[in-house]
A and B are shown apart, each in its own frame.
Chain A
Amino acid sequence: MSTAGKTIPIASARPQPSSAFEYLTTKKDELIGWARKFSLFPYPFVTACCAMEFMAVSSSPYDTDRFGAALPRFSPRQADLLMVVGTVTHKQAPVLLKVYEQMCEPKWVMAFGVCATSGGFYNNYAAVQGIDKIIPVDIYIPGCPPRPEMVIDGIMRLQDKIAHSRHPIVTGNF
């Protein structure tokens, strides 16, 4: 500080009047929907071969990070998008239900691939005929496995759904 003869410029603490906008009018649901749709934290419930396609779509060059849905949380308590990737068997169904129940609101469910959607070609003693028999599903992506473009389309449709739905902040349970 004691460099001879030099003074260090200090900016004024008082904000200068400018022409930048400082106020925004919108609806609460639109604002929260906009925020939520770009911060999806997926929990990958990966059981079968669709996992390879899930890896392809989450990493480059398809990159779900562009949609704000890239960072997988490995605890359902930190996630808000449950991606069920692959066949779910009857033996595994209680686990899936428990994971779903552990997720906090708001939460969405994606059925990734035809097995999670409808059981696919597994119609026997072992496979659940679609996870919507156990938990509610928001977006279905068919395909065996689905192309990355289909998954991205699914994510974008889910984002549309989130953007246009109600987002109650205080509910009867909270």
Chain B
Amino acid sequence: MAHTVLEALEARLAATAGTVSFAHGLLVAELEPAALPKVVALMKAEFGFDLFLDVTAVDWLGQTPRFEVVYHFYSTQHHVRARLKTRVREEDPTVDSLIPLYGSAHYMERECHDMYGIVFRGNPDLRPILLYEGFVGHPLRKDYPKTQEQPLVPYRD
């Protein structure tokens, strides 16, 4: 049984966005990348989702569009969670940054860019945060060789 806030959000999103469902008590919505900032702004302003938990991605190698960017939000007022998913193409893995809405998006988007190469339009600082300058590729993509190392220090013999 979903929370009333989530049911209200479902009714609101069903009109505008893509598919909406429930999984393990949290709302799951699949959106077009272009609709994302508007939906998030709506959730923050009218449904109390004031905490941006995480952004990550899934690499569906072989499918098109290849990447799925996944966002999680939490409402500290209603104690409910919501998950937003959006698919981006391999040639142009770009979504809009959520920095205007949540300051914490800075670092989380940097990490997602490190690991999957998702480009967050509007994030002014997508330098490596967990990786290092000079690292080639994105290690959590499925086509990155599992054991390929990029050492910074020359190995001893």
Contacts and interface: CB of A to CB of B under 8 A. Distances in A.
A133 interface: yes
A136 B156 contact: yes
Interface in B92-151: 130-132, 139, 144, 146-151
Given A125-B139, A126-B139, A93 B156 contact: no
A91 B155 contact: no
Contacts of A134: 153, 155-156
A129 B152 CA distance: 13
Interface string A113-139: 000000000011110110011111000
Given A125-B148, A125-B149, A128-B151, A90 B156 contact: no
A35 interface: no
A97 interface: yes
A94 interface: yes
Where chain B touches its partner, the secondary structure class is: loop
A21 to B, nearest CB: 47
Contact of B155 (A94, A126, A133): A133
Interface centre among B131, B153, B155, B156 (most CB of A within 10 A): B153
Where chain A touches its partner, the secondary structure class is: loop
Interface string B28-66: 000000000000000000000000000000000000000
Nearest to A93: B153
Interface size class of B (residues with CB under 8 A): 10 to 19
Given A124-B146, A124-B147, A93 B152 contact: yes
B131 A123 contact: no
A93 B132 CA distance: 12
Nearest to B154: A134
Contacts of B130: 91
A147 to B, nearest CB: 29
Contact of A91 (B131, B147, B156): B131
Interface of B: 130-132, 139, 144, 146-153, 155-156
Given A91-B132, A93-B153, A133-B155, 6 more contacts: A90-B150, A90-B151, A124-B139, A132-B156, A134-B156, A136-B156
28 contacts: A90-B132, A90-B149, A90-B150, A90-B151, A90-B153, A91-B130, A91-B131, A91-B132, A93-B152, A93-B153, A94-B152, A94-B153, A123-B146, A123-B147, A124-B139, A125-B139, A125-B144, A125-B147, A125-B148, A128-B149, A128-B151, A129-B149, A132-B156, A133-B151, A133-B155, A133-B156, A134-B155, A135-B156
